[in-house]
Amino acid sequence: MDLEHARPVLNALGSRIVHCGPLGAGQTVKLCNQIAVSLTNLAVCEAIIFAQRSGIDPERMIEAVSGGAGASWQLQDLAPRMLRRDFRPGFKVGLQQKDLRLALENARQMHLPLPGLALVHQLFSAVESAGGSDEGTQALVKALEALGNVQVGGQFDSPAS
């Protein structure tokens, strides 16, 4: 189907329509989005845990960082959910893992190392192993909490001496 022929339907579904190339290019761009989203989610989890362990109120850190270059949808939407221990899905861990597996398989075929993606995939695997496949992707914080023996939300930790 020609893009111009489909544009009225696409415009009803979304406000930004970008032609990315031949058949299959849209799926590749979707995987690019999942790479960026999952790695940003990991960065947000690390920032929250770092603040928590440092004795900084993670809510204040989120407020401060959201006004600068570190701002992201994940920081503004998922981070507060992590602090509330709200792991209800907007997008499920199991679905995220499917997309990350597809991206890693494609990267492997291209002989393209994506170490950050491989790491976040493994961390999500730990969430899945703990029964979190149907939780939202903000549950990624649980894997980092387990590694660092820290939990976000509630009281923050004392700064390390």
- CATH number of the CATH domain containing 126: 1.10.1040.10
Q: What is the pLDDT of residue 159?
A: 56
* Residue 81 in domain: yes
Q: CB under 8 Å to 50, separation ≥6 — which residues?
A: none
Q: Is the pLDDT of residue 62 over 60?
A: yes
Domain holding 63, by residue range, is 22-148
* Residue 47 in domain: yes
* Residue 12 in domain: no
Please give the mean pLDDT across all residues of the chain. Answer: 93
Pick the catalytic residue from 30, 92, 98, 142: 30
- Between 7 and 95, the higher pLDDT residue: 95
Q: CB under 8 Å to 107, separation ≥6 — which residues?
A: 113, 114, 117
What's this model's pTM, rounded to 2 decimal places? 0.89
* Residue 142 in domain: yes
Question: Per-residue pLDDT tens for 118-131?
Answer: 999 999 999 999 99
* Residue 132 in domain: yes
Q: Measure Cα distances from 146 to 56, 57, 140, 151, 156 in Å.
A: 19, 20, 10, 8, 16
Q: For the chain, what is the domain count?
A: 1
Question: Per-residue pLDDT tens for 19-44?
Answer: 888 988 999 999 999 999 999 999 99
Cα separation, 15 vs 71, in Å, equals: 22
Identify whether 30 is a catalytic site residue.
yes
Q: What is the pLDDT of residue 154?
A: 65
Q: What percent of the chain has a predicted confidence (pLDDT) above 90?
A: 79
Q: What are the beta bridge partners of residue 136? A: 92
* Residue 2 in domain: no
Cα separation, 111 vs 117, in Å, equals: 14
* Residue 52 in domain: yes
Q: Is the pLDDT of residue 4 over 90?
A: no
Of the candidates 150, 133, 98, the residue with the CA atom closest to the CA atom of residue 141: 150
